[in-house]
Chains A and B, each alone.
Chain A
Amino acid sequence: MQGPSIEFANVNLELGNTKILDDVNFTIRAGTIHCVVGANGGGKTSLIRSLVGQMPHTGRISIQWQEGRVIGYVPQALDFDRSLPITVLDFMAMTCQRRPVFLGVSRARRRLIAATLERLGLGGKLGSKLGSLSGGERQRVLFAQALIPEPALLVLDEPMTGLDLAGKDIMEGAIREFAGAGGTVVWINHDIVQVYEIADALTYINRQVLLDGAPHEVLASGAATHLFPTLTLPAREVLSA
């Protein structure tokens, strides 16, 4: 598998009278983990929603596909009626099969879903009600659905919100494994230490691209100190080490 490279060229987005993205230019290399960081309201989610074709942007976003053209997308959170009778298997199956889920799931697909959930530490949760899972477990289910069918590009919108340490480790492992196999990852991430440790590239956005490059270079620059004023002391120590 080989993920695509992506080029954002003069991307602008205006909603009503508000300029959300202002002449955004940067490139995401194929087969890398590329983190998008920035303050709340800086246009990160709008940027990736433009990437997946959900925003009326201007300019050019070109995806140079290599092998496969499947995008796996993990939204910020699944906002739904928790009391709805939907099991984890129902949810996973409805994202990847045509046959109405109330008519059943084929054995092969059920095995694939079970194996994917197992990879994310959710073995045994197949029959659990989606609404009764913890927030962290539900985030992992959301991540699991993005892996079926096998994507070439993973687009993640803060997928680790609400995850405990064990959950973070499992998901981080899955992301590394995916990128290691050649997949491209575009990831909105607020955890700058994690970005430093795992990302191949980082782009800081606040309507415009303010920083772009390899994390160790970007975070060592003077501008980074100014842009990450709230970085905690332990985190600074990790980065400076």
Chain B
Amino acid sequence: MNSPYEVPRQFIIHLADTGVIHYTFTYAFVVNGLLCALVVGPLLGGIGTMVVAKRMAFFSQAVGNAALTGVAIGVILGESYTAPYVSMFSFCLLFGLFLNFARNRTKMSSDTLIGVFLSISLAIGATALLWVSAKVNTHILDTVMFGSILTVNDTDITVLLITALLTAVTALPLFNRMLLASLNPSLAHVRGIKVHLLEYVFVLLVTILTVACVKIIGAVLVEALLLIPAAAARNLNRSIKGFVWWSIVFSTVSCLVGIYAPMRYDLPVPSGGAIILTGAAIFLATMIIRMTVPRYREAAI
């Protein structure tokens, strides 16, 4: 049976064949990357605004690094080293949920607790990697750490699409409530919002998103795409509407440019790195605009 992605793939390849878009899009793997970018960009850009608003940047960083440990455990347990989704999802979910559970039950500041959990996770990962190196060449883990569109296949696209759908149906109806809960938990509670439950839901979303995007952006870099476009959008906006939509635009542009530019100009940069560098360039540009243009300087006060 043909892949469900064959129609859009063939359409883009046809456009490249006829010279409408650049010839690099005649390669199926480039088109796969492009399709992923069109999902990953808006998804991470949108959720990223919430990560920034809820001050969960360090948390998402920790979950990204936990994915590496998840991969190492997966390889030891015999999963495919190119797509160890079960282990990655399981370890990251356990990591995220347990961290949130501990955060709700100690008076320790969030960054201290996340730092402790991150160190534990990395120590387990480093130990597991020793075992992994006996089984496979650990250089293949570069793909997991920094992403590679060369290896994106239909399974990865399916995982990404299911995650995107799940995130949209969960996060959209809960957006206002999650935001209010992060601004003032007491106020949210009086309005009937289950603050703790929403925290867990959000932790689950960030974790699932991180794992689903590992293949295209990389475990180490995925959280950067959660933060940088949102941080750039924050530089130039005063309302939530502008914040969210510009974050989505910046994130999607970063993904498209990051995938296209290295191929078009033959640059020796992995897709994940190129995506984040593009996002960083946008962020720097917004910083300069914010510092120099009076209108935005006012907005940033």
* Chain A interface residues (CB < 8 Å from chain B): 49, 52-54, 71, 73, 75, 78-81, 83-87, 89-91, 93-95, 97-104, 127, 129, 132, 142, 145, 155
Given pairs A54-B186, A87-B238, A127-B239, 10 additional interface contacts (CB within 8 A): A52-B190, A85-B234, A85-B240, A94-B179, A95-B191, A97-B176, A100-B172, A102-B240, A102-B244, A103-B241
Query: With A100-B172, A129-B299 as given contacts, are A95 and B187 in contact (CB-CB < 8 Å)?
Result: yes
A73 contacts B176, C-beta separation under 8 Å: no
A84 contacts B180, C-beta separation under 8 Å: no
B180 contacts A95, C-beta separation under 8 Å: yes
Query: With A85-B239, A85-B243, A129-B299 as given contacts, are A101 and B186 in contact (CB-CB < 8 Å)?
Result: no
Residue B55, interface by CB 8 Å: yes
CA distance A124 to B172 in the complex (A): 29
- Shortest distance from the beta carbon of A135 to any chain B beta carbon, whole Å: 15
A53 contact set on B, CB distance < 8 A: 189
* Chain B interface residues (CB < 8 Å from chain A): 53, 55, 172-173, 175-176, 179-180, 183-184, 186-187, 189-191, 233-234, 237-245, 299-301
- Shortest distance from the beta carbon of B57 to any chain A beta carbon, whole Å: 12
B244 contacts A78, C-beta separation under 8 Å: no
B190 contact set on A, CB distance < 8 A: 52, 54, 71, 73, 155
Chain B: interface secondary structure?
Answer: helix
A99 contact set on B, CB distance < 8 A: 176
A90 contacts B239, C-beta separation under 8 Å: yes
B186 contacts A49, C-beta separation under 8 Å: yes
B240 contacts A52, C-beta separation under 8 Å: no
A80 contact set on B, CB distance < 8 A: 183-184
CA distance A16 to B245 in the complex (A): 45
- Shortest distance from the beta carbon of B49 to any chain A beta carbon, whole Å: 8
CA distance A103 to B239 in the complex (A): 12
CA distance A93 to B176 in the complex (A): 8
B55 contact set on A, CB distance < 8 A: 81
Q: Select B234's contact among A84, A87, A95, A145, beta carbons within 8 Å.
A: A84
A49 contact set on B, CB distance < 8 A: 186
Which of B173, B190, B233 lies at the interface centre, i.e. has the most chain A CB atoms within 10 A of its CB? Answer: B190
A86 contacts B184, C-beta separation under 8 Å: no
B184 contacts A83, C-beta separation under 8 Å: no
A145 contact set on B, CB distance < 8 A: 187
A132 contact set on B, CB distance < 8 A: 301
Q: Select A129's contact among B172, B186, B238, beta carbons within 8 Å.
A: B238
Closest chain A residue to B243 by CB distance?
A85
CA distance A73 to B180 in the complex (A): 14
CA distance A185 to B241 in the complex (A): 35
Q: Which 8 A-B pairs have the closest CB atoms?
A: A100-B175, A102-B244, A73-B190, A94-B176, A85-B243, A85-B237, A90-B240, A129-B238
